[in-house]
Amino acid sequence: MLTDASQLGVVVLDSGAGGPSSSPHACSAALATLMPFLRPVPRLPFSRGLDLIFMPGLGFDRQGNRLGRGRGYYDAYLKRCAQQQHAKPYTMALAFKEQICLQVPVDENDVKVDEVLYEDSSAS
C-alpha cells in the first residue's frame, strides 16, 4: 500500500453529502491540494484495503474511545472494512493533551482507536 501511495499520491475517504464512499480512492493529487475546500479527483479505486487510518476527533479517553462529530462515518467505514477484509485497519489519532478526557461517551456503534498519540506521550 505504501508503494501505491507514493506512486499515486494520497488515499482519501470522500465524505460527500451521503457520507464517506464505500471504498477509498487512490488520488493522483499531491498532498498540497488537500487544503481546506479542495478535493482531489479520484483516479482509480483502491481495492486492497488500508493498513492505517488517522482518525479525527474532538476528544479521546485512555481506553481508545473517540468523540467525533456525531455522524458515525468513520465507525461505519471501519466496520465495513472488518467485514470485507476480515480485519479492520490499524487506527491512530493525534491529539493535544487537552483533548484527552477521563471518559468519552460511547454507544454500541463506536469503534475504538487503536492508539492515541499526544504531544510527547502515548495515551492508549
Q: What is the pLDDT of residues 25-63, one digit of tens each?
A: 545 455 555 555 455 555 545 556 678 899 999 999 999
Specify the pLDDT at position 66: 95
Dihedral angle computed from the Cα positions of residues 102, 105, 106 and 110, in that order, rounded to the nearest 10 degrees? -80
Specify the pLDDT at position 87: 75
Class of domain 50-124: alpha beta
Q: What CA–CA distance (Å, rounded) separates 24 from 20?
A: 8
What are the structural domain ranges in the chain?
1-48, 50-124
Q: How many Cβ atoms from other residues are within 10 Å of residue 22's Cβ?
A: 11
Residue-wise pLDDT for 80-89, tens only, equals 888 876 677 8
2 band by pLDDT with thresholds 50, 70 and 90: very low
84-95 burial by CB neighbour count: b if 16+ within 10 A, else e?
eeeebbebbbeb
Q: How many Cβ atoms from other residues are within 10 Å of residue 49's Cβ?
A: 15
Asked whether the whole model's pTM tops 0.85, one would answer: no
Handedness of CA 7, 10, 16, 18 (dihedral sign): positive
